[in-house]
Structure 1
């Protein structure tokens, strides 16, 4: 059994004042790292008065050039550029499970296949919400997310060890 992505999440629509943000709480496609690498500190803030807001546990995905696979599970509240899609899990859906669904290479492949434009392709927001995901109980969503999080933490630890050994 499958869900459409729109059955388990929605795009966040709230706005936030730029004056409430700083380089640590603003996310743009420039400070999102490719290949699911997370984020770095922003180098600047936009000049407009308001921008897209996000909340802790939302999933942020760069909508420009989806093949770069820029995704981040929000660990704090903040604001982001309009080129970043903010996915919010619906009631009864585990937000970490949603993150892992969207971090799957098949999601990025689907996003590219349905994107618009050639030089700077952008994901089609309507088509993205038609992406099919497994229909699992909340209990299984949590189990899957817990297992994948353990693996991610081990990978991160190994990267740190490798960096220390290289130094």
Structure 2
């Protein structure tokens, strides 16, 4: 285990889309969900002024309002907002599959908040972010960690889907029960009205 700086193991990916943007998914800050390491939403074919390119496997870090804790790994090539810093692993120094977990953690976000500038909409620059220091194990241990962390993330997502499905089931059962109760009340009122007439 050795101490490294983020800038020792990763670079800011700087690439601009100079041609046609059609067919590229578009990522804005609104698509980065706080605390989520994977992208689940994006725009396609929408009109925008974004020109910053990212590549599959890059980490998209929301540099504006870092306290919102927005960072996710890109599952495809695309175009993103200028308020997103695109971070690319140096594969000879860090396992690319581990980098998203280094970025998406409270210690790095706390560091980023401390280095942010601006009052209304504070932003952190890569020049500061690259000085974040952390412990990094050797490659074999990195592989173990990455496998474990992605497995935990998969388990978390499975639980989230299960909770969502359970929630929908409870809602539908409640709606059905409510409709049934209202129908019974209506029948009871009609019977009562018929009795008194």
Deviation per CA, 1:29-81, whole angstroms, max 9, x where unpaired? Answer: 12222232634123843236xx1111111110111101111111111111111
SS in 2 for 1:148: helix
5 Å-filtered alignment, 1:8-47, equals 8-17=9-18, 19-22=20-23, 25-36=25-36, 38-42=39-43, 44-47=46-49
Name 1:162's counterpart in structure 2.
163
| d(CA) in 2 for partners of 1:13, 1:47 | 17
| d(CA) in 1 for partners of 2:72, 2:18 | 21
Cα 1:151–1:119 shift into 2, 3 Å: same
2:50 aligned with 1:70 = no
Deviates more, 1:35-44 or 1:137-146: 35-44
| d(CA) in 2 for partners of 1:32, 1:113 | 21
Q: CA RMSD in A?
A: 1.8
More helix by share: 2
Structure 1 length as normaliser, TM-score?
0.90
Structure 1 unpaired stretches of 5+? none
Give runs of ≥4 in structure 1 deviating > 2 Å.
17-22, 34-39, 41-45
Q: Is the 8 A contact 2:66 2:112 kept in 1?
A: yes
Q: Larger Rg: 1 or 2? A: 2
Q: Is the 8 A contact 2:12 2:126 kept in 1?
A: no
Name 1:7's counterpart in structure 2.
8
Q: Is the 8 A contact 2:35 2:104 kept in 1?
A: no
5 Å-filtered alignment, 1:145-156, equals 145-156=146-157
Instruction: Say how many residue pairs are matched.
Output: 164
Cα 1:109–1:145 shift into 2, 3 Å: same
Name 2:122's counterpart in structure 1.
121
Name 2:105's counterpart in structure 1.
104
Structure 2 unpaired stretches of 5+? 169-197
| d(CA) in 2 for partners of 1:66, 1:149 | 23
Q: Is the 8 A contact 1:21 1:79 kept in 2?
A: no
| d(CA) in 1 for partners of 2:72, 2:32 | 8
Structure 2 length as normaliser, TM-score?
0.77
TM-fit CA distance, 1:124 = 2.8
| d(CA) in 1 for partners of 2:47, 2:3 | 40
